[in-house]
């Protein structure tokens, strides 16, 4: 579990819930909030308001030829048959989920490596979501599958009724291409489920009143046997209502079969237990560290300094030890990665005999390959070798490996002006070769990428990427779009976007990505520097980037726009209320905005480790970055577009609704609101809806920044 922008599947009721305990102080504004009625997500009065707002916004920004051209241009990118069909290996097949014009809700399909190498592979369609919807008169959105190793013939398919986090789960038979009659099946809820063996699964779901956490995720995990009622499933672990979520999983790695129970206390603190014959043994690492068992090894990724046997390991380090020795009480570690001022660990991936580290050097990628010692000599050294990196100003990521059977790896290489390439290799055997190449959706030769650093208010150096025309005139007149997120240790790395290229760059705009604190660009310290009372550091960083763009005469306030969603929507809300003088327009998407009530809305209680608890003394610092409480009638704000989705059961649509309604009631001009009915936190259930969302944001910003 990582961030607001990362899915946690969840419970049926997506209406606002007031979880204030009896006798506690009133949650949120309570009686003095005139727009509490908009929290009734599907209420008639609230939906009538949404429909009226949608009509007004559509009339202004949608019902015209320019919007149609922008939307169709983006949709052409999203629906293109020339896109890379990204795959994951399961056994002898490569699996892919694909959406296009003919399959708006998508098809789940597979092929072989030999076929995949061809320009036009022959695909075997396993599940057609559009056909399923037609047969069942539903609007299912595909949310992924879990297939049982090693045969990969039985799968648990997740389907959302509206694109939200709540899913239905059904067992699917790949050889017969059909759902299993009387197989494992769960109704719509925020569910976490995984295979144990052919006839049993671990499941956490809404078992009835009191079985979900205050964050709206499973509090109880059970072991469910095939052919028995779910109500008879055996309880494996029961957490507390204040926990974030409880889950269990079975590791089927041959020779290293193990069971684990994970108790997430919040987004950054958890406890991992090995389940042995029904009993639980704690994996004794700090609760803010990540522990990962693979084959004979235990990897520990630290978030804060950890002193063990007289040695202190820094935050952001990756440590290795033998799992069985560790569980027996030994505390001997090999340091696989140690961060410095410029380098952090982004991710890692196991192959059968190796470990690939994905590192960020000032937010640019490089890979190292590590080889553990043989178990016959477990105290030997880990070998290290550099792997050919990505081009300048780009990202490279490991998207798939086959750790049970081979040293195969798949890489995605991308940059702001470089369309993605999909590469495959086998360590110690076959060097990486490009298997698929994405097309160019705009003429990149007209643009250049540069990285800049600016000092924030407290003197911290903050990087940002700028994509601009080669003939850019530094006259302050360039329409410039500044994008940011700054939360949950999520990093914004270089990536290719045909939509940004077509809808912004080719129009002559400048596109900028700010790597502000709160993200993970420089490891956990970069994230922790903007937690809770320090949250304003993220906003100061973003403002510093804006000021630097103005100082360098790339743009000026009336031509500078800002965009962000989810936690980035909270960032936009603070730009709006705290730094309005820096911007000519702001697009605020699926946002958090009412930080007084956020823990009582949708899944908000799960983010207290990031922001704090407003029902306690934390409100003394939270109120400084709560846009809904800080917008003033006598304030002067740039035009703003709030975009959300009715089906968003993570952040929920009510915060954007209330902010727009409050600003309009205060008499501020150019406050626009649009709410898509489907799509969940992604705000788009298919490519058509996604293209509509992006086109509206880009056209709004382009229009307002002229």
Three-state secondary structure of 40-86: CCCCHHHHHHHHHHHHHHHHHHCCCHHHHHHHHHHHHHHHCCCCCCC
> So what's the pLDDT on residue 389?
64
Torsion angles phi and psi, residue 90, rounded to 5: -135, 105
- Is residue 618 in a domain? yes
Helix (H) or strand (E) holding 247: strand 245-251
Can you tell me whether residue 362 is helix, strand or coil?
coil
Q: Which residues contact 268 (CB under 8 A, 6 or more apart)?
A: 288, 303, 609, 610
> So what's the pLDDT on residue 61?
95
Cα separation, 140 vs 126, whole angstroms: 16
Beta bridge partners of 350: 355
Stretch 184-211: mean pLDDT: 97
456 given a catalytic annotation: no
DSSP string, 652-665: -SHHHHHHHHHHHH
Q: What is the 3-state secondary structure (H, E, C) of 440-480?
A: CCCCHHHEEEEEEEEECCCCCEEEEEEEEECCCCCCCCCCE
- Is residue 492 in a domain? yes
- Is residue 575 in a domain? yes
DSSP state of 210: T
- Is residue 303 in a domain? no
> So what's the pLDDT on residue 18?
30
> So what's the pLDDT on residue 686?
86
Cα separation, 552 vs 669, whole angstroms: 30
The active-site residue, picked from 160, 262, 566, 647, is 566
> Is it the case that residue 382 has pLDDT exceeding 60?
yes
Cα separation, 447 vs 507, whole angstroms: 12
- Is residue 613 in a domain? yes
- Is residue 449 in a domain? yes
Which residues in 323-470 belong to E strands, given as ranges? 334-337, 343-350, 355-361, 364-371, 383-387, 394-401, 408-415, 418-426, 430-437, 447-455, 461-469
Q: What is the dihedral of CA 302, 308, 312, 314, to 10 degrees?
A: 0
Domain count along the chain:
1
> Is it the case that residue 227 has pLDDT exceeding 90?
yes
> So what's the pLDDT on residue 47?
97
The active-site residue, picked from 103, 681, 692, 694, is 681
Q: Is 176 exposed, middle or buried (0-12, 13-18, 19+ CB in 10 A)?
A: exposed
| Percentage, residues of the chain above pLDDT 90 | 90
> Is it the case that residue 219 has pLDDT exceeding 90?
yes
If one counts every other C-beta atom within 10 angstroms of the C-beta of residue 335, the result is 13
DSSP string, 547-604: HHHHHTTS--GGGEEEEEETHHHHHHHHHHHH-GGG-SEEEEES----TTTGGGSTTG
Cα separation, 489 vs 524, whole angstroms: 7
Least-confidence region, from 433-447, 566-580, 682-696: 682-696
Residue with tokens 């490991």, as numbered in its chain: 398
566 given a catalytic annotation: yes
Residue 374 — very low, low, confident or very high, per pLDDT cuts 50/70/90?
A: confident
Residue with tokens 């030999």, as numbered in its chain: 114
Helix axes 687-704, 44-61, angle to 10 degrees: 60
Least-confidence region, from 13-22, 156-165, 486-495, 641-650: 13-22
If one counts every other C-beta atom within 10 angstroms of the C-beta of residue 262, the result is 19
Residue 173 — very low, low, confident or very high, per pLDDT cuts 50/70/90?
A: very high
Residue 162 — very low, low, confident or very high, per pLDDT cuts 50/70/90?
A: confident
Q: b/e string for 624-633 if b means 16 or more Cβ within 10 A?
A: bbbbbbbbee
Residue 693 — very low, low, confident or very high, per pLDDT cuts 50/70/90?
A: very high
Domain coverage including residue 532:
37-74+441-704
> So what's the pLDDT on residue 387?
85
pLDDT in tens, 251-267: 999 999 999 999 999 99
Rounded to the nearest integer, the mean pLDDT of the chain is 93
- Is residue 446 in a domain? yes
CATH number at residue 620: 3.40.50.1820
> So what's the pLDDT on residue 683?
59
> Is it the case that residue 342 has pLDDT exceeding 90?
yes
Higher per-residue pLDDT: 352 or 28? 352
DSSP state of 212: B
Stretch 653-680: mean pLDDT: 94
> So what's the pLDDT on residue 497?
97
Stretch 225-250: mean pLDDT: 97
pLDDT in tens, 463-478: 999 999 999 999 999 9
Residue 677 — very low, low, confident or very high, per pLDDT cuts 50/70/90?
A: confident
Residue 306 — very low, low, confident or very high, per pLDDT cuts 50/70/90?
A: very high
Q: Is the dihedral of CA 241, 243, 245, 246 positive or negative?
A: negative
Q: Which of 535, 519, 539, 516 is nearest to 527 (CA)?
A: 519
CA–CA distance from 85 to each of 111, 121, 349, 495 (Å)? 11, 10, 21, 17
The pTM for the full model equals 0.92
Residue 393 — very low, low, confident or very high, per pLDDT cuts 50/70/90?
A: confident
Q: How many residues does the chain have?
A: 706
CA–CA distance from 267 to each of 105, 547, 628 (Å)? 31, 32, 24
- Is residue 216 in a domain? no
Beta bridge partners of 334: 320
């Amino acid at each position: 579990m990582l961030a607001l922008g990362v899915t946690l599947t969840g419970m049926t009721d997506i209406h606002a819930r007031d979880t204030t305990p009896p006798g506690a102080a009133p949650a949120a504004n309570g009686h003095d909030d005139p727009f509490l009625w908009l929290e009734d997500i599907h209420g008639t009065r609230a939906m009538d308001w949404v429909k009226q707002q949608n009509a007004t916004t559509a009339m202004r920004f949608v019902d015209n030829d320019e919007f149609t051209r922008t939307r169709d241009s983006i949709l052409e990118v999203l629906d293109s048959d020339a896109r890379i069909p990204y795959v994951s290996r399961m056994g002898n097949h490569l699996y892919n989920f694909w959406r296009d014009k003919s399959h708006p809700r998508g098809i789940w399909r597979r092929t072989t490596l030999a076929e995949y190498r061809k320009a036009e592979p022959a695909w075997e369609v396993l599940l057609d979501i559009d056909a399923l919807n037609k047969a069942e008169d539903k609007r299912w959105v595909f949310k992924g599958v879990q297939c049982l190793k090693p045969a990969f013939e039985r799968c648990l398919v997740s389907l959302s009724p509206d694109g939200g986090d709540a899913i239905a789960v059904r067992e699917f038979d790949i050889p017969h291409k059909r759902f299993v009659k009387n197989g494992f099946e769960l109704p719509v809820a925020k569910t976490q489920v995984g295979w144990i063996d052919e006839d049993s699964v671990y499941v956490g779901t809404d078992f009835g009143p009191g079985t979900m956490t205050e964050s709206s995720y499973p509090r109880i995990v059970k072991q469910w046997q095939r052919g028995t009622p779910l109500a008879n499933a055996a309880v494996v672990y029961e957490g507390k209502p204040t926990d974030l979520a409880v889950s269990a999983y079975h590791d089927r790695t041959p020779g290293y079969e193990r069971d684990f129970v994970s108790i997430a206390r919040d987004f950054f603190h958890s406890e991992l237990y090995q389940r042995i014959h029904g009993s639980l043994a704690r994996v004794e690492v700090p609760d803010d560290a990540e522990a990962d068992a693979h084959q004979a090894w235990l990897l520990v990724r630290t978030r804060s300094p950890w002193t063990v046997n007289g040695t202190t390991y820094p935050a952001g380090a990756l440590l290795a030890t033998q799992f069985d020795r560790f569980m027996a009480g030994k505390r001997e570690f090999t340091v696989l990665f140690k961060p410095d001022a410029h380098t952090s660990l982004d991710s890692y991936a196991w192959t059968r005999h190796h470990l690939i580290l994905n590192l960020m050097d000032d937010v640019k990628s490089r890979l190292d390959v590590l080889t553990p010692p043989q178990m016959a000599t477990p105290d030997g050294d880990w070998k290290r070798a550099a792997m050919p990196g990505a081009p300048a100003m780009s990202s490279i990521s490991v998207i798939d490996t086959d750790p049970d059977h081979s040293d195969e790896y798949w890489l995605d290489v991308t940059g702001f002006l470089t369309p993605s390439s999909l590469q495959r290799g086998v360590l110690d055997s076959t060097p990486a070769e490009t298997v698929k190449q994405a097309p160019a959706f705009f003429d990149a030769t007209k643009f250049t990428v540069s990285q800049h650093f600016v000092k924030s208010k407290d003197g911290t150096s903050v990087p940002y990427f700028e994509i601009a025309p080669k003939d850019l005139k530094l006259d302050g007149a360039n329409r410039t779009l500044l994008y940011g997120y700054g939360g949950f240790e999520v990093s914004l790395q270089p990536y290719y976007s045909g939509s940004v290229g077509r809808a912004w760059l080719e129009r002559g705009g400048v596109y900028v990505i700010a790597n502000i604190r709160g993200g993970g660009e420089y490891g956990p310290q970069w994230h922790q520097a903007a937690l809770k009372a320090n949250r304003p550091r993220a906003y100061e960083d973003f403002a510093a980037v804006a000021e630097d763009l103005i100082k360098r005469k790339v743009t000026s306030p009336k031509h500078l726009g800002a965009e962000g969603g989810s936690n980035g929507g909270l960032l936009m809300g603070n730009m709006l209320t705290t730094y309005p003088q820096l911007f000519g327009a702001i697009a605020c998407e699926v946002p958090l905005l009412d930080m007084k009530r956020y823990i009582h809305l949708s899944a908000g209680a799960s983010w207290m480790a990031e922001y704090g608890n407003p029902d306690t003394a934390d409100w003394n610092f939270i109120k400084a970055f709560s846009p809904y409480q800080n917008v003033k009638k006598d304030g002067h704000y740039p035009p703003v577009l709030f975009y959300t989705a009715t089906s968003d059961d993570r952040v929920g649509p009510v915060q954007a609704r209330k902010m727009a309604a409050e600003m309009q009631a205060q008499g501020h001009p150019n406050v626009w609101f649009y709410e898509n009915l489907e799509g969940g936190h992604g705000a788009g259930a298919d490519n058509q809806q996604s293209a509509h969302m992006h086109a509206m944001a880009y056209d709004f910003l382009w229009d307002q920044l002229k």
